[in-house]
Structures are given as structure tokens and as C-alpha cells.
Amino acid sequence: MTKFGELKKKPQTALVTGATGFIGGHLVRHLRKLGWEVHALARCTSSNPDIANSATWHKYLGDYESVSLAIAVSQPDVVFHLASHFLTEHRPEEVERLVDSNLRFGMYLLEAMRQQNAQRLINTGSCWQHYDGADYDPVNLYAATKQAFEAIVDYYINVHNLKACDLKLHDTFGPGDNRKKILDHLIEIARTGATLEMSTGYQRLILLHVDDVTEAYVLLANMLLLDNSIESKRKSYALTTAEDFSIRDLVREVENHAKQKLNVKWGTRRSSVRLMLSPPRNFPPPPGWAQCHRLSDYLYKLFPDK
């Protein structure tokens, strides 16, 4: 029921890139739940039927025109740019894919936004751009392409009045994750009893539940929608928690909840060139954001009968 004098608000329109990914898929659902009209731009439509019906899908054909068409048709109030190609370490033949996914596609997106006057972007960065808390010191080439893309975003902000901010992500977990990250491996061996080969296990992670992450995207979107200031600079935010975990801490957490010893062989796998021994804490959280989900609650639900 609409009260007298109260206008029915037109729903906001989102365009989500990377919607076929773990966080992107959750974001699509969360935006739909909040009443947003959701469009997705991807190389292929999602095989997840739940998401498939939650968004209008636009196909990226590897060229500028398909991106431009998606922006023209969707007319997004906010673009949520989550698409990227992630690699811990790259081989020479993977450089091309890193350029195409993390720079070329994003540049098409920014140019199409400029041409169609779509003015708000949330860009996704990585804590791995900030090894040992540096302003910039990349852990890997993936992180370097993220940093490179920020320089391109700044051009569109400074010269073409784009309103944009970054959300720098740490590690994430949650239901429906098939990225085969470390936590999933540990949960799997707790269930199967299999053996897992590991490096030293001293690197430290900040781990966030995907629902806390999608909430952060929404807070930033609302901030961009409310912000009418002329002076604009790209601000970076991160979802940093007081608590962080070494890989060895994670093993203990899973062992505690599964009530069993995991078969982990420490030191049998080569470590990455750069091990993150203390997660960077350079950036503030989005205004109003607070962590609502803890790893221990998630693990408790996974191993309820123990």
C-alpha cells in the first residue's frame, strides 16, 4: 500500500559483470531480493538456474560492440564490475588471458559507460595489490593487472566524470563455492579422510562470508547513488576484520568442528613466490558495514552432528 503523497520509487538498475562467478552469483540474488532490476554481462549465461532467472543476460562476444549494447539496453544506475581472471601464479601462455579479462574487457566497459552516460561503477580490487601493506606491491601478475586497471578507471573519473570506487577483496567463503579454495579442500578431506599436500601453512588470510561481501557492494552502490558532490576521486574500501587466520589456524578450526584430525602433509608443496604473512589493512570498510557472519558459525552448520 502506498501512502498519500508517497511516490513509488522506480527500482534501481544494476549491471553485474562476473555474475557467473561465486561472488557475482550471490550479488545477483541479493540485489534481486532488495528489489533491484538486475542485468548481467558475461561470456556465457550461468548454468545455475537460480541466477539465470534473476537477471537479464547480455552476452560478451570479446568485442567493444557487445559491451556497448549491454550498457545501451540495460541503462544501469550502477555497474558492479566483478569479472576477472584469477591466477595465483601465471605461465607465459596465460598473459594473454590476463590482459583480455582484466584490462581489455574493463576498458570496453568504461568506454561504453562513457558513451552511454552510465556514471557509476564499483570496481573490484584485490588485497594482493598490497603485499605487506604497501601502497602498491603486487603479489602476482593478476594483482598487477588489477592495479593497472585502476589507472584506467582514474582516467574516466578525472576526464569524464565517472563516479567510481573500489572494493578490495580478501578471501571469501560461503555456500555454492566451487572455486576449490583452501577452505573447501579442508572441508572435503574432513569428509573423505583423504590426504592434502600443503606448503608451509604460515601465510595469513582474512576470510569473509559471501553475504558480508554482497552487502558491502550494496552499501557502496547506495553511497554512489546518494553522492552528488562534483569533486570526485576514486576511493578504495576493503572488508578487513580484526581476526585473520594462518592456513594452520584454518586446519585447526576445521578439525575442531569436524572433531577429527585432518590428514595434512605440511611442507610437501612448493610455496608461492610471495607468501602473504600479514594481510594488508590499508583501506577502510564501506561506511555502515559490519561483519555479520563468522567462519566458526559457517563450519558449525557444516558439521552439525559432531
Which residues lie near a second copy (CB under 8 A)? Answer: 63-64, 68, 92-93, 95-96, 98-99, 103-104, 107-108, 111-112, 115, 131, 136-141, 143-145, 147-152, 154-155, 158-159, 273-274
Closest contact distance (angstroms) between CB of 79 and a second copy is 16
CB closer to a second copy, 159 vs 230:
159
CB closer to a second copy, 34 vs 107:
107
CB closer to a second copy, 76 vs 174:
76
Closest contact distance (angstroms) between CB of 100 and a second copy is 8
Question: How many Å apart are CA 171 and CA 253, to the nearest integer?
Answer: 16
Phi, psi of 99 (to 5 degrees): -60, -50
- What Å distances lie between residue 167 and 118, 201, 215, 240, 248, CA to CA? 19, 27, 12, 11, 27
CB closer to a second copy, 64 vs 303:
64
Q: Supply 286's cell numbers.
A: 564501506
Report yes or no: 175 and 23 within 8 Å, Cβ to Cβ. Answer: no
Report yes or no: 57 and 81 within 8 Å, Cβ to Cβ. Answer: no
Question: How many Å apart are CA 55 and CA 66, to the nearest integer?
Answer: 17
- What Å distances lie between residue 238 and 197, 251, 281, CA to CA? 31, 25, 8
Closest contact distance (angstroms) between CB of 30 and a second copy is 31
Closest contact distance (angstroms) between CB of 202 and a second copy is 19
Q: Supply 294's cell numbers.
A: 563468522
CB closer to a second copy, 92 vs 193:
92
Closest contact distance (angstroms) between CB of 270 and a second copy is 15
